[in-house]
Every structure is written in C-alpha cells, then in structure tokens.
Amino acid sequence: MNSRTITVRGSAKVSAAPDWVVISFTINSEHYDYGKCMEQVAMQTESLQKDLAAVGLERDSLKTVDFEIDTHFQKVSGRHVFRGYKAVHHLKVEFPFEKEYLNKVLRALSRTQSQASFSVSFQIKDPEPLRHKAIAEAVKNAKIKARVLAEAAGVMVGNLVHIDYSWSEIRFHSSLEYDTVTESMPSPSYDFTPQDVNVSESVTAVWAIDN
C-alpha cells in the first residue's frame, strides 16, 4: 500500500446578489402596573401589524422572535426602588427583495405609531446552491494546488485518499438600522443596491503520490 501522500487545503469564494429581505423590530414598553405594561406592548404590536397589513403583508407574517417582561428597579440613595415593569418584544417580517416594494414598506414604517425600532437585512433565501458551488470550487482549488506541489517535487498525483470538510453557517446582514420611528420622520425613498453575499468554503484533501 502506498504510504506517501500529499495534503493540501483548498479554498474558494463565490458571490451572489441577495434576493430576500428580513426586517427585525424591537418594541419597548414601560409601566408601573404589570397589566398596563402588557396592554401597552400589545397595542404597539397591533399598530405595527396594521401598518404592515396596509402594504400587503399578511397579519401572521409578523413573527415573534422573543418576548420578555421584567421588573425595573432604580438605585436611589443607595437603595433599589421599584419603578415598574419593562417589556421587550422582538419581531421580524420577511419577503422577497424588490426595491420599489421595500421602499413602500419603509414609507409605511416612517408613519407608524408603534414606536418600533428596526433594522433591515439583505440575505439569500436559499444559500445551499451557493454553498455547494463554493465547496466544488474549493475541491478544484485543492486539486490544482496538489498538482503544482507534485510537479515541483517531481512526482505524480495519484488517487484521492481522504477529504475533510467542516460545515459553517452563511449569512449576510446589512447595517441599515433605525432608532425609534416617529410620526415626524420623513418618508424615505432609497435606491438600494445591497452588497453581494460572499460565501467562502475550504476543504482539506489528501492524495496518494505516484512515482
């Protein structure tokens, strides 16, 4: 059995334009009374649902990511004084990326009464084909490197003995964010050109060396 091998690490990066938008919302509510705090955050959420429904997004398209409510204390003269309750509701909505429609959604949010802050992410809905392409290119890159090394050493590359690949998550987020939106905020109109999603993958391959 041939024990002589050559080990190389192949890498590749491929890119694609985003085709999916995720808007993440945060709604905050504070009140001394627990029931009032819950009622207030529910009203703000309802207001946001109505705003999104007005631009054609189904009511149930707004999903809760996380919800928490906790007591709020303030330190006064060395003592922790109870100041009521704080509720935080994290939500998101997703839809295909289309510039004109995204602007329509943002214009609606500029007039919202929900007092929600939000951020916009541009992503690829199904990244697997892009990942597969990157993996294939990484394998090709490894084989090219192996051949270059073998040629320099005066030997031939034989059969593939082993290949190792570690899965990694792929996601791209934009940096477009808003603080709490108020009624006085001007209606935006943006010419979005999101940055391409770059997917980098690598593999480690081992080939036998022939004489």
The alpha carbon of 128 is separated from its chain's Cα centroid by a whole number of angstroms, namely 15
Boundary of a domain, candidates 123, 139, 155: 123
189 part of a folded domain:
no
Q: Say whether both 26 and 106 belong to one domain.
A: yes
The count of domains in the chain is 2
Query: What pLDDT, in 10s, does the model give residues 180-209?
Result: 454 444 455 667 788 888 888 999 999 999
Q: Over 60: is that where the pLDDT of 50 sits?
A: yes
Residue 33 is classified by DSSP as: S
Instruction: Kindly report the CATH number assigned to the domain that includes residue 36.
Output: 3.30.70.2970
pLDDT digits (tens, 9 = 90+) for 97-147: 998 999 999 999 988 899 999 999 888 888 889 889 999 999 999 999 999
pLDDT at residue 174 tops 70: no
Is 90 among the domain residues? yes
Residue 188 inside a domain? The answer is no
Weakest-pLDDT range from 27-31, 36-40, 102-106, 186-190: 186-190
The structure tokens listed for 160 are 């593939």
Which residues are 165's β-sheet partners?
Answer: 203
Strand arrangement, sheet containing 5-16: 5-16, 197-210, 156-165
Tell me whether residue 22 is in a domain: yes
Taking the CA atoms of 60, 61, 66 and 67 in sequence, report the sign of the dihedral they define. negative
